[in-house]
């Protein structure tokens, strides 16, 4: 890191559900999980009707969650939903293999994804005065290729994969904050417990993309889409301390948040390296 970098505010972005949007990667994971389930001997022995019913059930329940249908169970994201729907049939290792299969498909470009409208322009606008960091739990395979496909590689200064959030924040935050005021670091993501809880408690600025209106925890800015947060990002970049001071958060009220399975952190059944942030 140069002296100039150390003086700049830092914008920290999650990958899945933040800069890379669309449900196709989740469905690719679901397809790999379903394939694993249908290979299960106990399912195969019951014949085609049982296999077809299981396939249809997972697709219907995942689709209902992703469409935000009332009454759908609350999961932190689509990846956690898939893992939970298959948790009583597949081991954690099998789920992880299915996840990595889906990430290889993402890497080779066979899964359609997009980026929030106007994000390239926003990041380009911030270039030079804000360090733009992508920080994700996802493995490197699939992340860099997708950034290139979306033309975001040219407006992101640094990429950190396999970050191990939320536990990984214990080493990541001291490096990101350095000698800066914590308010000069803004973290943006779609899973409060993974992406925002630790930075918020460290004094950083935070912005939550709350697609499903789960309201898992507080943030300095909250919206259903990343696009709706652009004015907040600009306000923070112009005056980080003023941005945080104008949006006080009672940190004592966050104690215990982000620990409930399916709300703020990854379910133990979810793929261990999935971004889901």
Whether 267 is covered by a domain: the verdict is no
pLDDT at 223: 98
Would residue 38 count as lying in a domain?
A: yes
Query: Phi and psi for 23 in degrees, rounded to 5?
Result: -90, 0
Together in a domain, 132 and 214: yes
Distance CA 209, CA 239 (A): 21
pLDDT surpassing 80 at residue 52: no
Is 69 found in the same domain as 131?
no
**126 plus 144 within the same structural domain:** yes
Whether 117 and 100 share a structural domain? no
Q: Is the domain of 101 the same as that of 138?
A: no
Instruction: State whether 196 and 209 are in the same domain.
Output: yes
Same domain, 152 and 68: no
pLDDT at 74: 86
| Structural domain includes residue 46 | yes
Residue 40 backbone phi and psi in degrees, to 5: -60, 130
Check whether residue 209 and residue 102 sit in a common domain: no
Residue 41 backbone zone (phi > 0: left; psi -120 to 50: alpha; other: beta): alpha
Q: Tell me whether residue 51 is in a domain.
A: yes
Evaluate whether residue 259 is within a structural domain. no
- If asked whether residues 11 and 122 sit together in one domain, one would say yes
**Does 166 sit behind a cis peptide bond, omega within 30 degrees of 0 on the bond before it?**
yes
Residue 201 lies in a domain: yes
- Rounded CA-CA distance 141/274 in Å is 11
> How many domains is the chain partitioned into structurally?
2
Query: Tell me: the pLDDT tens digits for 172-202?
Result: 999 999 999 999 999 999 999 999 999 999 9
Q: Indicate if 33 and 135 belong to the same structural domain.
A: no
Whole-number Å distance between alpha carbons of 127 and 189? 20
Is residue 263 a part of any domain in this protein? no
CATH number at residue 138: 3.40.50.1000
How far is Cα 246 from Cα 213, in angstroms, rounded to an integer? 23
Spatial CA neighbour of 175 closest among 29, 12, 45, 56: 12
DSSP letters spanning 171-211: HHHHHHHTTS-GGGEEEEES-IIIIIHHHHHTT-EEEEE-T
**pLDDT tens, 131-178?**
999 999 999 999 999 999 999 999 999 999 999 999 999 999 999 999
Residues 101 and 119 in one domain: no
From the list 119, 90, 63, 64, the residue with the least C-alpha distance to 268 is 90
Both 59 and 149 in one domain: the answer is: no
Domain that holds residue 103: 24-107
């Amino acid at each position: 890191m140069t002296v100039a970098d150390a003086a700049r505010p830092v914008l920290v972005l999650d990958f899945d559900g933040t800069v890379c949007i669309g449900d196709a990667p989740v469905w690719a994971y679901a397809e790999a999980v379903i394939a694993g389930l249908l290979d299960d001997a106990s399912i195969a022995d019951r014949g085609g009707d049982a296999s077809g019913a299981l396939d249809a059930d997972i697709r219907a329940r995942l689709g209902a969650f992703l469409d935000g249908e009332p009454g759908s169970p609350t999961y932190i994201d689509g990846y956690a939903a898939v893992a939970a729907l298959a948790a009583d049939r597949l081991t954690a290792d099998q789920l992880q293999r299915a996840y990595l299969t889906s990430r290889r498909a993402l890497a080779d470009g066979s899964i359609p994804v997009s980026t929030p409208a106007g994000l390239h322009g926003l990041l380009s606008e911030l270039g030079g005065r804000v360090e733009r960091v992508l920080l994700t739990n996802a493995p490197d395979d699939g992340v860099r290729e997708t950034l290139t496909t979306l033309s975001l590689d040219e407006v992101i200064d640094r990429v950190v994969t396999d970050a191990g959030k939320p536990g990984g924040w214990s080493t990541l935050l001291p490096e990101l904050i350095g000698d800066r005021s914590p308010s000069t670091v803004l973290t943006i993501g779609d899973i409060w417990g993974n992406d925002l809880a630790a930075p918020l408690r460290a004094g950083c600025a935070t912005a939550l993309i709350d697609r499903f209106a789960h309201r898992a925890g507080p943030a300095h800015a909250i919206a259903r889409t990343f696009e709706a947060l652009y004015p907040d990002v600009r306000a923070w970049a112009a005056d980080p301390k003023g941005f945080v001071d104008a949006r006080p958060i009672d940190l004592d009220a966050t104690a215990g948040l982000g620990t409930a399975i399916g709300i703020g952190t990854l379910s133990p059944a979810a793929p261990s390296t999935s971004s889901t942030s």
